[in-house]
Amino acid sequence: MMPATGKPATRSNQPSAQIPTPATGRPATRSNQPSAQIPTQMQAITIDPNNVTEEDLTLDFHKIFLRQPNPPERDLVFTAQDLRGWSNVVWAVLL
């Protein structure tokens, strides 16, 4: 049944929203998205109740935020002392 305006009831008179598409010109779907990055171990630190092995833990700013740092921004560095202090708190709760 048609409404009094003579237009189908299922159509909207509003302009359709423009959906951004990738550079290919095709609509974005899971099949044409960039492949996911594969995690790669770059550093290993062992923390046990008595010791922290390895040196400082450094997290590259550009790998976390996907851009270069702007001063005073820089890589995130957690010293062995930082890790030892946090591990003491965790081990105190777990043991």
Asked whether the beta carbons of 37 and 75 are under 8 A apart, the reply is: no
Q: How confident is the model over 19-38, as pLDDT tens digits?
A: 555 566 666 666 655 666 78
Q: How confident is the model over 44-68, as pLDDT tens digits?
A: 888 777 777 778 889 999 989 999 9
φ and ψ at 65, to 5 degrees?
-100, 0
Query: Any idea where the domains of the chain sit in the sequence?
Result: 43-94
Q: Which residues pair with 52 in a beta bridge?
A: 47
